Amino acid sequence: GTQYLLVFIITLLTTIPHPMRLTLLFTSISALIHASAAYGPIVVANEEFSESTGITCSSKVSVDCTFPDANGDLRSCIAEETNGPFLQIKKSDCVNYGVNGIIETTITMKMCNENTEQDFIFRPRDGTYFKIATEDYFDGFLETDENGVVYSLAPANAVNGEWPPIFPGECKTMVQKYKFDVCNKPNKLPFGVQMQGNMNTALTESRNQYYGQSYCYAYVNRKNVVRRFPDDIEENPNALASPAPLVVEKNSNVNNCGTKLSMTCEFEFNGKLYSCIHEEEEDARPVLVSMQGECANNNFMATITLQMCNEHSSDIVPFFEDNRLRPLFNFDGQLLDEKDIQDGNRYNTVMEPDNATRCKTITISREIDACRRKVPMAIRIYGKTPDENGVICRSYMYREILMEKIVIPPPILPTSSPTKAPSGPSTTRPTNPPKTPDEGLTSAPSTSPTSEFCDFENVIITEVADPDISPGGWRYRYTELRFLECAGKFITDDIKFVRWPLNGTPLSTDLQGIRVPNDGFIILCAHMQRFSNLFGAGKCDIEADGNIDSGTANNPGSDTVAVVLGTPSDTTEDSDIIDIFVPEVFTDGRAVRKKPSTRSDEFIPSQWIVYPGDNGKNTVPPSGMDPRVWLKPIIITEIVDPDVNNGNADVSYENVPRFIEMYVPNEELHGEVIEDDLKLVLIHGSDTEPTFNPHVVLKGVDVPEDGLIVVCNDAAKSKYQQLCDKVNSSLFDDRQGNFGCDRAAIVHGDESSYTIVDTYGPLGTSCGATHDFTDARAFRLTNATFPEPTWEFYHWKIVRGASPDICDPHVWTDNIPATNCNLVITEVASPSGSVDGRFLELYSDNCAGKTIGDDFELVHYDDDGNLLNNPLDLEGFTIGDDGFLLLCVKEEANVIYGPNTCDRVVGPNTPADNQGVETIALLERRKVGDPVIIDIFGFKPSDDTSNFSGGKAIRDPSATLPSNVWKPEDWLIIPGKDGEGVLTVDDMDPREWNEFPLVIVITELADPLDNKLNRFIELYSPNKRNYEIVDDLVLVRYEGTSGVPMGTPYINLKGMVINPQGFLVLCVDGSTWSNNQCTSKAPPTEFVGTTTGMMKIAILAANVPRADAEIIDIFGVPGSTGSNHNFSDGRAVRVRLSEKPRAVFVRDDWIIIPGSGSGTVSSGLFDPNAWIDCELFGCAADPSPTPPSPPTPTPPSAPSKGSPSAPSKGKSPKSSPGKMRRRRAHLR
């Protein structure tokens, strides 16, 4: 069959030298060209999913077209290429199709409600249609099926204002027979389906309220082209080209200003010269025809000469000074360099008649890519004569080098292929998607400017801008329109661009008669000169009556704008809207439409990204504006400079696995190729401009299915293997140790002209600023999926001390890998008279300089033990390089204690804002069960041992392990519960955790009635355990009326060890007390306490007794013979709540028995090594037992983590395992 002949020809061609190859190709093509129509049916379907609050909409439309060939087999009249031909034939062969070239097509169109839940009823609105658009039936709206049964979603069939609904699982199908002439114009058979409306039962109750939340849209359209070739095409692939030389000229006399434009374009093929343009602009004949797949071998060199001339008389001289009015020569979308203009002319030089400057001429040579379909060229004169009443001189000329490729036909299907039209379309998504707005940035729309049909209403608003610039910022405002067809055509429809100022009458700019530039954009700017100075000449097309009070482009960020058909009304409701934008305020920013989007006569907020807008987006400076560019953006999601040397300087930076991760928010691009001219660049140090040497080209990159693109250096490639999509070591390694101080950006364009699409880090800031990621990884929060040309710090987290193992290329999540940090509370401060000076200090011995990845949370309780609001989620907080995490209440603390003292300012009413009476607990949240207490300060409401009002609480440095119960003995409380003395901010020591002085007091003196050898003196330290005394301390006694301590006996306490319970008990040798109860035993003659109960005992700061030594603590009044301290035959016990040492005896601190001679105490009632203040032998609590566990805290209302956020079309942006999107409120 034909397919075997084709294989033979292609195989043969590969063995033949190039000059002969094309000739042989076309001598064989006559046997194939008639077979170009693919066997039918081909179903073209377009499925569109939209998602909004609680409402999911799924709709689908499809088209199919078949016709029978001479054998009765069905062929498809839909091309496999979206804009390609379904039939390629020689002119003489066309009559062999159908009856004398008239084929009978069966067109099947379908729209379906794909939802299955019974409440999801699709309710169509204006714009829902089946359509066949042809020359003789141009409106193309179908209201009956092939049997004459009326079916329409048109308003005429509305019942009580409601159009017929489409119920869940239901499809509406339209089948039409249409006779099509393949021998004559028109050369296309376009048809399409559009499904537009809302899907929600609530619409029956409140249409307007829910319109934006349930909007459904699906659209498919095919042009279905027939291409006819001359009969001699096989002998002459240039049969449609005109012979050279051919000069194409255009004479113009606009405003009596005579001009002449001319073009020549010539190329040689097989020894003959051909013209690569045609005489008439509307002539769409190709100048070269190639077999697809062979076109690359047929590239040719073309010589192009472009000329413009002044045809004025000598008394009127056109003068071109202003850049916006200057002439231009343009080839393939690029302005030709004026240095190539002959005779030394420039674009802005005077063109005088009748001398050497009358004409400007430029000649260039270019290689033409034969695989392209069109290569455009243009000449423009647009200027004003210099006299006082100067007139506008203008003329424009446009031509295209048009080339054609003959599509290789598909294999012949088995004879069992269907012989009649199918009943409906297939449910399989086609390989080639339906027509959408153009995929490129600046290339012309797919419709040729010379097409027979041009829908000027196929226009959308793509950008409305109010750049953040001063002074005179209004002069830089602009609006961008995109014509999805009609590039290079003059607008013939009565179309206007309209702005409705707040509380004002509408302003309009008439677009009729304006030529749509070749890139399809029309820019309306408020001030041509200022706009051109900022963004470049030629970027603005229309100065829209610009002044500070009026002008359609002068939008202050608050006005509705629309493209309108006909004359606008005072309200949008009464205007014939083609497309509309109704803003949330974008002052000092921009509103940019997502690509792809479709025009709508009702505003669809989900199609727009508005800056500043919501989600914390910033204002946008000019560097973030992109007039004449509409792209599918890419955002930076992670930038990594990991710590490979435990915080020390990296020895060899090329061994550090560095990478930058990016994400494509538009899920339709996942699995596709990036077509926009995007580049990844770095901005070094404090620079404000990116460095393009080196850079990473993103255009042409295949986007992985998860939408993530990772660029690595060689070390990262070695570490992460297939997770690296591109490798460019120079980008990273050339920066050595400075990479962590750089900024990264995705830009559109090149060094000469670029726009910042997205960026990490603020421009023009030095290292050490908020963006510094040295030895760290910075990742974007997953709810910030929009591009940010101005960086927003609060949309990012920086994980300090991140090792390569916790970095996660190709995973985008808000989760920070667990760091297993050890954390303890070390200090709580509430200085007297300074709320601003309050802080909470924690310490980690294993996470210095790292970002916490553990699920830690700080909570606090009031006096009554009630859980308070405003807990602190510590995940993502970075511990200082010194191991401390200091949480301050106010920014003023960095003034009080010094710059950068605080790691985080967490605000009032948080656990850091402690008046001295609140309990603080460090919790760890678990996946299952209640949070677990890791460490706690205080225990409410059981006692008052943690009250530090007007002071501070410091943890004993020896108590390094966290405790889930309150241990007062681990803390030094100043001023303490007795309230004596206060501390100011000058007494605070944030970020220091030093050994605090030994506190030791006398707690009991024993003189038992029954056995004087059982006398003992008990000392206690509230802040030391298992501690060897290193200070010079002596225990002395005073006797009688002497105010001087006795020289002997005394006991030197230095070197003695305080036991695990905090006691040091001094006993008499021979006592019945065990060694576990006594720290030491001394002979009676050497024991300080071997005297009557009238003795006075003191601890002195000295190595021997001295009268001038400082008294640390004392029982009794030296020199006094009074009885208020007499404990003869009994005991003296310090009141349990009096732990503070006394240099002066306070009687109320003691319980003395027998006191004034009443009662005695025998040995069996004493308790060395325990502090029980017994009065009448009723005992208070012992300090040494473990206090009861605090209540299990109720999990507080922590910042929401949310559920994984789904993108707008209902699927996760990360399809690979482990990709989870968690939303967390970010603490500022």
Q: How confident is the model at residue 389 (pLDDT cuts 50, 70, 90)?
A: low
Q: What is the pLDDT of residue 440?
A: 28
Does 721 have pLDDT greater than 50? yes
Query: What digits encode the pLDDT tens for the residues 78-90?
Result: 876 666 678 888 8
In angstroms, what is the C-alpha Rg of the chain? 44
| The amino acid at 50 | S
381 against 931, higher pLDDT: 931
Q: What is the pLDDT of residue 317?
A: 52
Judge contact between 780 and 799, C-beta under 8 A: no
Contacts of 895 (CB under 8 A, 6+ apart): none
> Sign of torsion, CA 513 516 522 525?
negative
- Distance, in Å, from the CA atom of 1169 to the CA atom of 1152, rounded to the nearest integer, reads 18
Q: How confident is the model at residue 453 (pLDDT cuts 50, 70, 90)?
A: low
Tokens of 56: 């999911």
Is residue 23 within a helix (H) or strand (E), and if so which, with residue range? helix 18-28
Nearest CA-CA partner of 920 in 928, 912, 931: 912
Tokens of 156: 């005429």
620 against 815, higher pLDDT: 620
Q: How confident is the model at residue 912 (pLDDT cuts 50, 70, 90)?
A: very high
Judge contact between 1051 and 1066, C-beta under 8 A: yes
Q: What is the pLDDT of residue 1155?
A: 56
Residues 799-827 have a mean pLDDT of: 88
Where is mean pLDDT largest: 43-57, 157-171, 584-598? 584-598
Q: What is the pLDDT of residue 650?
A: 55
Contacts of 617 (CB under 8 A, 6+ apart): 589, 610, 611, 786, 788, 792
194 against 520, higher pLDDT: 520
Q: What is the pLDDT of residue 1185?
A: 38
Q: How confident is the model at residue 91 (pLDDT cuts 50, 70, 90)?
A: confident
12 against 649, higher pLDDT: 649
Q: What is the pLDDT of residue 144?
A: 53
Q: How far is CA 1164 from CA 304, 958, 1009, in A?
A: 121, 36, 10
Q: How confident is the model at residue 407 (pLDDT cuts 50, 70, 90)?
A: low
Least confident range from 182-186, 723-727, 795-799: namely 182-186
170 against 937, higher pLDDT: 937
Question: What per-residue string of b and e applies to 348-365 under the rule 16 or more CB within 10 Å gives b?
Answer: ebebebeeebbbbbbeee
Q: What is the pLDDT of residue 320?
A: 52
Query: What digits encode the pLDDT tens for the residues 196-212?
Result: 777 765 444 444 444 44
Query: What digits encode the pLDDT tens for the residues 337-352?
Result: 777 777 666 666 667 7
Query: What digits encode the pLDDT tens for the residues 987-1007?
Result: 899 999 987 788 899 999 988
Query: What digits encode the pLDDT tens for the residues 258-281?
Result: 888 999 999 988 888 999 998 887
138 against 820, higher pLDDT: 820
Q: What is the pLDDT of residue 557?
A: 87
Does 772 have pLDDT greater than 70? yes
Dump the DSSP string for 1015-1029. -EEEEE-SS-SSEE-
Query: What digits encode the pLDDT tens for the residues 361-388?
Result: 889 999 998 888 889 898 888 776 666 6
> Phi, psi at residue 702, to the nearest 5°?
-75, 120
Contacts of 53 (CB under 8 A, 6+ apart): 213
| The amino acid at 798 | I
Tokens of 1000: 């030791």
Query: What digits encode the pLDDT tens for the residues 1087-1135?
Result: 887 767 778 899 999 999 999 999 999 999 998 876 778 888 888 899 9
Query: How many other β-carbons are positioned within 10 Å of the β-carbon of residue 803?
Result: 16
Least confident range from 124-138, 167-181, 400-414, 742-756: namely 400-414
1068 against 411, higher pLDDT: 1068
315 against 803, higher pLDDT: 803
| The amino acid at 561 | V
* pTM of full prediction above 0.75: no
Does 335 have pLDDT greater than 50? yes
Q: What is the pLDDT of residue 143?
A: 56
- Distance, in Å, from the CA atom of 77 to the CA atom of 75, rounded to the nearest integer, reads 7
Does 687 have pLDDT greater than 80? yes
860 against 11, higher pLDDT: 860
Residues 819-830 have a mean pLDDT of: 93
- Distance, in Å, from the CA atom of 246 to the CA atom of 252, rounded to the nearest integer, reads 20
Does 981 have pLDDT greater than 80? no
| The amino acid at 1208 | S
Residues 700-711 have a mean pLDDT of: 93
Q: What is the pLDDT of residue 161?
A: 52
142 against 894, higher pLDDT: 894
Does 775 have pLDDT greater than 80? yes
- Distance, in Å, from the CA atom of 899 to the CA atom of 901, rounded to the nearest integer, reads 6
Q: What is the pLDDT of residue 19?
A: 36
Residue with tokens 């039918």: 40
CA dihedral 749, 754, 757, 759 (to 10 degrees): 120
Query: How many other β-carbons are positioned within 10 Å of the β-carbon of residue 1083?
Result: 11
Q: How confident is the model at residue 550 (pLDDT cuts 50, 70, 90)?
A: low
Report strand pairing: 560-565 vs 495-500.
antiparallel
Contacts of 715 (CB under 8 A, 6+ apart): 654, 655, 656, 657, 658, 729
3-state secondary structure of 303: strand
Q: What is the pLDDT of residue 423?
A: 32
Q: What is the pLDDT of residue 1156?
A: 46
| CA angle (1142 as vertex; 1141, 1146 as ends), nearest 5 | 130
> Sign of torsion, CA 490 495 500 501?
positive
Tokens of 1081: 């035993």
| The amino acid at 507 | L
Does 577 have pLDDT greater than 90? yes
Judge contact between 685 and 766, C-beta under 8 A: yes
